[in-house]
Amino acid sequence: MVIVGAGLSGLAAARDLVAAGRSVLVLEARERPGGRVYGLPLGDGTTSEGGAEFIGPTQDRIAALAKDMGVDTFTTYNEGKNVYYRNGKRSLYATDGLLGAVPPDWGVIDLELALLKLGNMIKEVPVGEPWKAAKADEWDAQTFYTWSRSNSLSSGARFLMDAFASSTLSMRSQEVSLLYLLNYAASAGNESTPGTVDRLINTKGGAQESRFVGGSQEVPVRLAAKLGDIIRYNTPVRSIETGSGGVTVTADGLTVTAKRVVVAMSPAIANKIDYSPALPANRAQLMQRYPMGSIAKFVGVYDTPFWRADGLTGQAVADSGAIDATFDNSPPDGSRGILMGFMNQANIRKLDGASADEVRAAGLASFTTLFGDKAANPRITAFQRWDNEMWSGGGPVGIAPPGALTAFGPALRAPCGPIHWAGTETSDYWTGYMDGAVRSGERVAREVHAAL
């Protein structure tokens, strides 16, 4: 059988199918494994996490895979205070304050009440099948922006809810279905632990609690090495034809016939493949309605993590500038300092057409505003933009706008004859995360093995 895509979902599926005795060929468009998990070169022979990087509680499947690959984790630096920049004013807040990591704002009580409502709604969403919720039609008919404005009064609370959507989905709250966001939060758990907003947004006890020694890319790189020459790189798949004898997969320089095929990528990128005969309308329409978020990472490398001496975690949230959130991406021993800044949704779109020098200047201006003049002159800067990356088209995940889940949601995972679907977007738990990618690969491997 053929697996299209050597990201975590495709690699996890390949591992399990090979272990079950199946003959597998993995076709990958890039020259590397990992997909949206990527070690960004820093120009000095080292890398920093350019894509997905964090792991937290209840992310059991990526944890198990990393352990199998011999990749250890370490705790994300979280000592000191975080930076909050809004309306031109910089302030600090404790990481163990009200609502975990939510910064103090004059509207924080308003925010707390809104999030309590949101939490009760999350409990009503069947994980992985949000279209079955009793109020699915009502919730899928509105954006998170609409709901947040109807359920809060203060500009502070509204800003923080917008920041929640931006930091987790790299989309404006105006672009995201409320039902989708509810399911996203409901998925932030496992079979025994319900998902919550706190687990999504927090560092300690949340999805950003830990990182991987050597970078998250070590997990797919090591797994790909174990799978060996069943992976073909620089081989983008162009078409999949279904016939009485199975499927014919045509890629650059290669045509192969198999009994079944797994398409392990986001719906938006899966839509770039030509299917013959045409896919069922529900699946075809779904792929047209699941856009990727807009995200980039800007990295500054310093001699030391100077912000630690200033009593700061390296984490920040801002309402202006090119960077709207930051993290300390330094190595475990703190031998040098690495600041990472997210450029999300409108912030990165504003830099369309900007030169490398202009991007660098915008990123350093944000770092300086948030962390002072010491941030102005890093030894190295690096930049990874995902929304114009051919084989990802954005990140961190495909997003459902209003109306998409209730109309086409069941087509996310449903096989189309011998064509099966994987990718973090198809996962029940931790959709949008590395754990969701691994879960989807393991699920589709069981599905295919049972069908053969």
Fold classification of 2-37+216-291+399-451 is FAD/NAD(P)-binding domain (3.50.50)
Q: What percent of the chain has pLDDT over 90?
A: 94
Q: What is the pLDDT of residue 105?
A: 66
Burial of 269 per CB tally in 10 Å (0-12, 13-18, 19+): buried
Which of 405, 191, 387, 178 lies closest to 293, judged by CA? 387
Residue 64 has pLDDT above 50, yes or no: yes
442 is annotated as contributing to ligand binding: no
Distance of CA 300 to the CA centre of its chain: 21
Residue 100 has pLDDT above 60, yes or no: no
Determine the average pLDDT of the residues in 197-216. Answer: 96
Q: At what angle do helices 155-169 and 108-122 cross, to 10 degrees?
A: 50
Residue 6 has pLDDT above 50, yes or no: yes
Q: Are strands 380-385 and 295-302 parallel, antiparallel or unpaired?
A: antiparallel
Do 364 and 376 form a contact (C-beta atoms < 8 A)? yes
Determine the average pLDDT of the residues in 436-451. Answer: 98
CATH code: domain 108-197 is 1.10.405.10
Judge if 2-37+216-291+399-451 and 108-197 fold alike in CATH terms.
no
342 is annotated as contributing to ligand binding: yes
Residues whose CB falls within 8 Å of the CB of residue 243, separated by 6 or more in sequence, listed in order: none
Determine the average pLDDT of the residues in 269-298. Answer: 98
Q: What is the pLDDT of residue 104?
A: 63
Which of 68, 92, 91 lies closest to 81, judged by CA? 92
Residues whose CB falls within 8 Å of the CB of residue 250, separated by 6 or more in sequence, listed in order: 237, 238, 239, 240, 241
What whole-number distance in Å separates Cα of residue 444 and Cα of residue 424?
12
Q: Whole-model pTM?
A: 0.96
Q: What is the pLDDT of residue 97?
A: 55
Residue 303 binned pLDDT confidence (cut-offs 50, 70, 90): very high
What whole-number distance in Å separates Cα of residue 439 and Cα of residue 431?
9
Q: Are strands 210-212 and 54-55 parallel, antiparallel or unpaired?
A: antiparallel
28 is annotated as contributing to ligand binding: yes
Q: What is the pLDDT of residue 99?
A: 47
| Alpha helices in 187-280, H assignment, sequence order | 197-201, 218-227, 267-270
- pLDDT tens string 225-257: 999 999 999 999 999 999 998 999 999 999 999
Q: Amino acid identity, residue 29?
A: A
What whole-number distance in Å separates Cα of residue 352 and Cα of residue 131?
36
- The domains of the chain are located at 2-37+216-291+399-451, 108-197
Determine the average pLDDT of the residues in 110-121. Answer: 94
9 is annotated as contributing to ligand binding: yes
Number of residues that this document lists for the chain: 452
Which of 391, 341, 72 lies closest to 233, judged by CA? 391
Determine the average pLDDT of the residues in 331-359. Answer: 96
Least confident window among 10-19, 52-61, 151-160, 355-364: 151-160
